[in-house]
Structure 1
Amino acid sequence: MSEKIKGYFYLIAAMATVGSTVIASKIIAAGMPPFTATALRFAMALPVFIAIMLLTGKRLPRLSRRDWLLVVFQAVAGSVGYTTLLISGLSLTSAANAGIIIGTLPVVSAAIAILLLGERPRPGIYLAIAIAASGVLAIVLQPDEGQSSLVGDILIFGAVLCEGLFILINKRLRTPVEPLALSTLVTAFGLIACIIPAALEPHVSSIEIQPALWAIAYYALVPTVAGFLIWYAGARRVSGAEASVFTSVAPVSAVLMAGTFLGETISLNHVLGTGCVLVAVLGLGLSEIRARKRPA
């Protein structure tokens, strides 16, 4: 098997774990407040990241005060904001809805870069945005969707915006930060940021939180740590443009897992929404591949 094919398998596996975070977050939302859950996720993941850095001989970067502030903002706005909004949204809407909305991240990130960074859009980016928006509308405007589900969908989209800002801020760092070091720093700062809000949240009984604790442990160790390692094992073997195509696996895996493990009903609107998001993300990735191959 060629290294590139191995890379494809790694990327598929990594994006499948991203889809599974929706299922884990749905279980967490039923048994634990969002900031408490987020703090526990970071507390479980941080020692593992530190251990990996020590084993691989990686060191923390030397950054300017401006870059340190940007990393802290990444942790608070991107990582904490994403996780708490995802959990809060999933207390009101279905995991299938959330999976489709989260799948729009590559398109949303491109739109944010155009609006806030003034980047020149690649050919077809506006079409990709329109198709992805159609996919989200297909699930948001379902006839059986109640007001609480709509609020939940909006919270999930807020989580996507937070993750998009995380990516945007990373482009503004003057000193490039190695991915493992960045993940370790963001996890540490995220944990610090969650401590006070988590302490102010209401406590729940030990019986109620047991499934949530297992889901948090899974979220912390599998998608957060293992998913990170698998993704970069795959990304090393393919181009960045090729890797971006595989982000389309996340919404499909989330919807399939919602039906399989949570017993949620997958409607025609979910199928249409997933299809639109897939077309948008794949189109975005393929246009990037063509742009990279085009001679300067």
Structure 2
Amino acid sequence: MDSQRIIAGALMTIAMTLVGSGVVASKIIAGGMHPFPAVPLRFLISTPILWGLVFLTSTPRSRLLAKEYMIVMIQAAAGSAGYSILMILALTLTTSANASVIHGLLPVLAALVATLALKERLGAKLWIAVGAVTAGALLVNVASAKGFGLDLKLLAGNLLVVLAVSGEALFAILNKRISKPLAPLYLAALMSSISLVLTLPLTAALVAFSTVAAAPAALLATVYISIFPT
């Protein structure tokens, strides 16, 4: 059991490191590319890679009920497509350091929803952790104040980060509503495919009404975020 906890902790650390690097990559994208073409491009790159890995590794592809497909669609809309768009928009207003700290609210939101909706009980240590992370997010917003006023641009960006992280928390909680376990790689491929379909119309609308431009650094960051954090 102890070895399983160590492995789980190591995998979570690697996962959150990749998520953190995704915040930095999103900041680069925000500085050189509109999110509406950037996000579909991300999933356009990741989707064939993920499905290729699914077939190469003979990953089980469980059959889902209609309501379970709906859950996966909501997960993709909130925790994948919605998260990506909101994070890039947020990083046009706030700093990547602020966003990274506020991103720590993910376990707070997931824990609170799990407590309220799934009736899971949190121990004292987890409540202390929740309080510490919340205090960090509040300090970031206090630091955004200028004198007796407020930096509304930073605060708006920080709020968008909270909304993005809320989408991720919803994804984590909804995963418990799927009756059969899904292989992580298969779920990732499904989510990437659905996210691509959901975000392509945004690109079409943008191209129809304005010129799309992208800096080379933003394109490279999009490729990175497609392969690693996705």
TM-score bin (small chain):
0.7 to 0.9
Map 1:203-214 → 2, pairs under 5 A: 203-205=211-213, 208-214=214-220
> Does 2:219 match 1:218?
no
Task: Tell me how far apart the structure 2 counterparts of residues 91 and 155 of structure 1 sit (CA, whole Å).
Answer: 10
Task: Tell me how far apart the structure 1 counterparts of residues 15 and 179 of structure 2 sit (CA, whole Å).
Answer: 28
SS at match of 1:63: coil
Structure 2 equivalent of residue 151 of structure 1: 156
Say if 1:6 and 1:131 are closer, same or farther in 2 by CA, change over 3 A: closer
Among candidates 199, 217, 227, match of residue 194 of structure 1: 199
Task: Tell me how far apart the structure 1 counterparts of residues 152 and 121 of structure 2 sit (CA, whole Å).
Answer: 37
Task: Tell me how far apart the structure 2 counterparts of residues 115 and 28 of structure 1 sit (CA, whole Å).
Answer: 36
Map 1:50-69 → 2, pairs under 5 A: 50-69=51-70
| Contact kept? 1:102, 1:157, Cα under 8 Å | yes
| Contact kept? 1:67, 1:175, Cα under 8 Å | no
Q: Which moved more, 1:180-189 or 1:25-34?
A: 25-34
| Contact kept? 1:30, 1:212, Cα under 8 Å | yes
Structure 2 equivalent of residue 26 of structure 1: 27
Structure 2 equivalent of residue 183 of structure 1: 188
| Contact kept? 2:82, 2:164, Cα under 8 Å | yes
> Does 2:81 match 1:80?
yes
| Contact kept? 1:25, 1:90, Cα under 8 Å | yes
Structure 2 equivalent of residue 234 of structure 1: none
Structure 2 equivalent of residue 122 of structure 1: 123
* Alpha-carbon distance, 1:176 to partner: 1.5
* Alpha-carbon distance, 1:107 to partner: 2.1
| Contact kept? 2:50, 2:185, Cα under 8 Å | yes
Letter in 2 for 1:222: F
Task: Tell me how far apart the structure 1 counterparts of residues 191 and 151 of structure 2 sit (CA, whole Å).
Answer: 36
| Contact kept? 1:31, 1:204, Cα under 8 Å | no
Letter in 1 for 2:62: P
Structure 2 equivalent of residue 41 of structure 1: 42
What count of residue pairs does the alignment treat as equivalent?
A: 220
| Contact kept? 1:26, 1:90, Cα under 8 Å | yes
Structure 1 equivalent of residue 71 of structure 2: 70
| TM-score (ref. length: structure 2) | 0.87
Say if 1:166 and 1:14 are closer, same or farther in 2 by CA, change over 3 A: closer
Task: Tell me how far apart the structure 1 counterparts of residues 7 and 134 of structure 2 sit (CA, whole Å).
Answer: 33
Say if 1:37 and 1:168 are closer, same or farther in 2 by CA, change over 3 A: same
| Contact kept? 1:105, 1:164, Cα under 8 Å | yes
* Alpha-carbon distance, 1:68 to partner: 0.8
| TM-score (ref. length: structure 1) | 0.69
Percent identical residues: 37
CA RMSD of aligned residues (A): 2.1
Task: Tell me how far apart the structure 1 counterparts of residues 69 and 23 of structure 2 sit (CA, whole Å).
Answer: 30
Say if 1:138 and 1:9 are closer, same or farther in 2 by CA, change over 3 A: same
Task: Tell me how far apart the structure 1 counterparts of residues 154 and 225 of structure 2 sit (CA, whole Å).
Answer: 23
* Alpha-carbon distance, 1:11 to partner: 5.2
Letter in 1 for 2:124: P
